[in-house]
Amino acid sequence: RYDSLKRGAQCGDNPEHEEEPRKRLFAAGNLPSKPVWREQVHGKNVLRLTGEPYASNRADASYSNTPGTVCAVMTADCLPVLFCNREGTEVAAAHAGWRGLCEGVLEETVTCFADKPENIIAWLGPAIGPTAFEVGPEVRDAFLAKDAQADSAFLPHGEKFLADIYQLARQRLANTGVEHVYGGDRCTFSESETFFSYRRDKTTGRMASFIWLI
């Protein structure tokens, strides 16, 4: 968590105001190169970081098989998912808000790997937990339209539902053949001393998650 990242360029703020905090983050993180920041749009596009120019940075995941290239994701309640293969030759980072998760951002990320899904490891970073993530019936309906087993991830809560974004992610990853999934035991909403939460604070604080090949 970085307090200096409270205002993010992807939240409609002035990108010039964000440059200095990102420089401090780069220095504090001892990263091998500047992270490739994407314009996260709650979709399923994956940006392949090949070192070549790309037409648009509008994507909710990035993939690399180049040592020293930093895949980055910023979140405040949405789910960050970091990927690598067992051989340590491929990595990826995905931003999985409920819309992107429902539309298949994790599946799209897995398909970027040359390695087999059973050789991929996924880590579920801090996101809003199942006791705090209240959603409307339209969210549940959207997931059920994609996969009936998603029903088990929604608990009735008055006229709405409590959604388990971690369970939904595990289901989607299992469907792709990714068996080795870790993390998914924190709550950004309830752990106020550790994490930002947009739902809790109504501000644009962000956490950054990184992964790269050495």
How far apart CA 95 and CA 46 sit, in angstroms, is 10
Assigned domain for 121 exists? yes
How does residue 198 score in pLDDT terms, banded at 50, 70 and 90? Answer: confident
Assigned domain for 18 exists? yes
The count of C-alpha atoms lying within 13 angstroms of the C-alpha of 71, restricted to the half-sphere facing its C-beta, is 30
pTM above 0.95, yes or no: no
Assigned domain for 148 exists? no
Assigned domain for 33 exists? yes
Domain span at residue 28? 3-126+187-211
Number of domains in the chain: 1
Average pLDDT over residues 105-114: 99
Assigned domain for 89 exists? yes
What pLDDT digit, counting tens, does each position of 1-48 carry?
A: 444 444 344 444 444 545 666 677 777 778 999 998 899 999 999 999
DSSP 29: T
The CATH number assigned to the domain holding 45 equals 3.60.140.10
Assigned domain for 95 exists? yes
Assigned domain for 21 exists? yes
How far apart CA 15 and CA 2 sit, in angstroms, is 17
Assigned domain for 164 exists? no
How far apart CA 43 and CA 73 sit, in angstroms, is 13
What pLDDT digit, counting tens, does each position of 51-73 carry?
A: 888 888 999 999 999 999 999 99
- Can you give the C-alpha Rg of the chain in angstroms? 17
- How many C-beta atoms lie closer than 10 Å to residue 57's C-beta? 14
